[in-house]
Amino acid sequence: MVTIKDVAKLADVSIATVSRVVNGYAHVRPEVRDAVNKAIDTLGYRRNGLASSFRTQQSNIVGVLLRQQRTPFSSALAYAIETTMFDQGYRVLLCSTNGDAEREEAYLETMLDMRVQGVIIRPSGTTSRTTKQVNLLRERGISVAFVDMKPKIPAISSVVCDNFSGGYQGMRHLIELGHRKIGVVAGGVAQKGGSQDVGSERVRGIRQAAQDLATDVEIIFSQPFETASFDVGREAGAAMITGNPSLTAIFGTTDMLAIGVMHAAHALGLDLPRDLSILGYDGVLESAVTFPTLSTIAQPIHEMGQIAAMTLIGHMREASNSPRQVVLENTLIQRASTIPLEN
Amino acid sequence: MVTIKDVAKLADVSIATVSRVVNGYAHVRPEVRDAVNKAIDTLGYRRNGLASSFRTQQSNIVGVLLRQQRTPFSSALAYAIETTMFDQGYRVLLCSTNGDAEREEAYLETMLDMRVQGVIIRPSGTTSRTTKQVNLLRERGISVAFVDMKPKIPAISSVVCDNFSGGYQGMRHLIELGHRKIGVVAGGVAQKGGSQDVGSERVRGIRQAAQDLATDVEIIFSQPFETASFDVGREAGAAMITGNPSLTAIFGTTDMLAIGVMHAAHALGLDLPRDLSILGYDGVLESAVTFPTLSTIAQPIHEMGQIAAMTLIGHMREASNSPRQVVLENTLIQRASTIPLEN
DNA sequence: CGCTATCTTGTAAACGTTTTCAATACAAGA
DNA sequence: TCTTGTATTGAAAACGTTTACAAGATAGCG
């Protein structure tokens, strides 16, 4: 393996000069620079990143810890973060833990080991473990940012969507369409009672909208599910529809949930959207391909990832940057699954 | 930051001994070992991974280069690779390039810089660039494995599905159901004429099955699309259905394509699956949530990722391992979208 | 021409670890 | 007791870079 020394020898300069050329520093005579570059080309020299990372104690790597289950949302978010980081010269160590404590532990060690410059965490609902992890990271001077969940410790930057407002908007949409008897299949709700999780927030928004906007609205809630999968949606949807035949709309607090409900409705022979309006939440790819296409409260997933990445980078580059809490708005995408109530 | 020296001083041993303890080598007296461990705990010492990676020139990181567009398939594959690698003690540098040459270049440099131990590549159809990249990697002694595409260079291990057989199976399924006039919306076909790409293979299988299994089958092919998205499927599906009203089945060579076709059919007022059977290919999550649920030729995505990872690890640990070409079978998942032809 | 400021370059010292080599201690066998 | 082999340990040399410091060269200025 050809090292800086070989280049120095061939170009007849010192290794310091080669290093300066490689790193693009000023104060190198053009002839010398050219000679060095020629030597580099001749030998096919390539800086040993392990050595330079070691020397500078900078890895240019950031960890992305995705605790929640692998979902379309997660992967879209990861992708947004990765590309943004890439453009800023950072590389991403992706850590999908599925909430497995052991795996988290190991990943955290890797990150510490690699001296990652920063970490973006999408925490799951339960945060006791998270807090400990975050403290460990910050003790070592590693910047941390949260995405999709507000931290309990306010000293940490975060980027979240306003799930309360999103729930509110969704409910308003349904009410404005004339629906008065509305089912809500709620998922993504932390079981430990932490009320900051996205699911609970959405439900809060839904409640508030019902209270604000119409006196005659009746909401039927499913039990609050922790997981928000297609299967959960299908089962809860089936139960809800058969148990409450007079429902005219169902709001799933997740697209996958809503899609599950849609299937249940189909299976029960309902004609969608005529017999039942269905509204989702997330705006993931899948919501665009259902039949009928799913109206949904869309999250700006890409923007979330982007802003989270840029925020973290801000902290990494300037440790004194004060933390900031970014809240993004969700927006209703009206597609075919929600229609006005026929009287 | 506390280093091995601090530990050595506190435990009153040499740094060599500390290193031995940290790395779990034999030949350390139990008392000494305990003393060192105590010192480590007291000081909160943690090995500097950058330093040890540098010293050993081993990063324990593998690159995963996903060239093709971000799709459910891609992310499922990435996840499978990541978890397998994790279990084997490796970490993954995820490189989504979307086929952007500049991005690929930069990622490749990062990988070389970081001295990744190996790289898994899912190449896109066009392989001229790939070949150059692979050579560059191998020159530096970095193991390479392909996933989802056979390499032109046979010296490289690969894991692929038998797309020919998959196409064949799909066609057989439709023929056995009695369909004789079948549309094929073909995507994922490399434009450069390389016939080894998955799309072309599937089409070959389809052709062969038609030839083998029935004399009276008529196939209407769409143009071969490079992308295999929902939108492409919808448009091609609409054109195909309106242009050939007597079709009784359509085979999309990708789930997203088939889902697009399904939408087109819905939009044209067809009653699915009665009026038209639709078959997909991939077995991604989305195929299970359509209405009607999509019959599909499922790829063992997780297994592919897993085997690719293990194969690469094999090469990394034992450079003399001879390359192997693994071919996995696709299997038909019959759901609701394909039904026997009513006479 | 001499002085000073600025450019350019090289020397050498880190960075924190792993690992080779040699030295010591100790136990077992003769 | 002497020898020999083995277990345990430490000293010191890497690994390839970056960078502080110093020194020499050059240019600008009076």
Asked if residues A113 and B46 have their Cβ atoms less than 8 Å apart, the reply is yes
Per-residue model confidence as pLDDT tens digits over B293-320:
999 999 999 999 999 999 999 999 887 7
* Per-residue flag: B12 CB under 7 A of strand D: yes
Per-residue model confidence as pLDDT tens digits over A192-227:
655 578 889 999 999 999 999 988 999 999 999 988
Task: Identify the CA nearest to A272 among candidates A290, A255, A257, A287.
Answer: A290
Angstrom distances, CA of residue A203 to CA of A185, A208, A279: 9, 9, 14
Pairing mode of beta strands A118-122, A143-147: parallel
Asked if residues A330 and A167 have their Cβ atoms less than 8 Å apart, the reply is no
For the ranges A69-83, A107-121, B47-61, B191-205, the lowest mean pLDDT is seen at B191-205
Judged against a pLDDT cut of 90, whether residue A154 lies above it is answered with: no
* Residue owning tokens 């075919």: A336
Cross-chain Cβ contact B115/A291 below 8 Å: no
Interface check for B246 against chain A (CB to CB < 8 A): the answer is no
Residue from A231, A285, A302, A335 to probe the interface with B (highest B Cβ count within 10 Å): A285
Pairing mode of beta strands B277-282, B249-252: parallel
Cross-chain Cβ contact A291/B288 below 8 Å: no
Interface check for B82 against chain A (CB to CB < 8 A): the answer is yes
- pLDDT for B127: 64
| Nucleotide with the nearest C1' to B16 CA | D10
SS3 B20: helix
Reported as a pLDDT band with limits 50, 70 and 90, residue A237 is: very high
Interface check for B54 against chain A (CB to CB < 8 A): the answer is yes
Reported as a pLDDT band with limits 50, 70 and 90, residue A69 is: low
Interface check for A248 against chain B (CB to CB < 8 A): the answer is no
Nearest to A49 among B46, B115, B291 (CB): B115
| Residues in B 300-339 with any Cβ partner in A closer than 8 A | none
Residues 6+ apart with CB under 8 A from B23: none
- pLDDT for A133: 84
A191 vs B240 pLDDT, higher one: B240
Q: Produce one character per residue of A139-178: b if its CB has 16 or more CB atoms within 10 Å, e if not.
A: eeebbbbbbbbbbebeebbbbbbbbbbbbbbbbbbbbebe
Cross-chain Cβ contact A47/B290 below 8 Å: no
As a residue count, chain A comes to 343
**Distance of alpha carbon B72 from alpha carbon B294, whole angstroms:** 16
What would the mean pLDDT of B111-134 be, rounded to a whole number?
A: 82
**Distance of alpha carbon B185 from alpha carbon B251, whole angstroms:** 6
Reported as a pLDDT band with limits 50, 70 and 90, residue B277 is: very high
Judged against a pLDDT cut of 80, whether residue B87 lies above it is answered with: yes
Task: Identify the CA nearest to A297 among candidates A194, A195, A206, A197.
Answer: A206
Mean pLDDT over all residues of chain A? 90
Give B223's Cβ-side CA count (13 Å radius): 8
Cross-chain Cβ contact B262/A115 below 8 Å: no
Per-residue model confidence as pLDDT tens digits over A266-292:
999 999 999 999 999 999 877 888 888
* Per-residue flag: A29 CB under 7 A of strand C: yes
B73 vs A177 pLDDT, higher one: A177
Nearest to B53 among A50, A92, A256 (CB): A50
Residue A259 with chain B: CB contacts under 8 Å = 289
* Per-residue flag: B10 CB under 7 A of strand D: no
Per-residue model confidence as pLDDT tens digits over A289-323:
888 899 999 999 999 999 999 999 999 988 778 89
What would the mean pLDDT of B77-103 be, rounded to a whole number?
A: 89
What would the mean pLDDT of B173-196 be, rounded to a whole number?
A: 86
* Residue owning tokens 């397998």: B84
* Per-residue flag: B23 CB under 7 A of strand C: yes
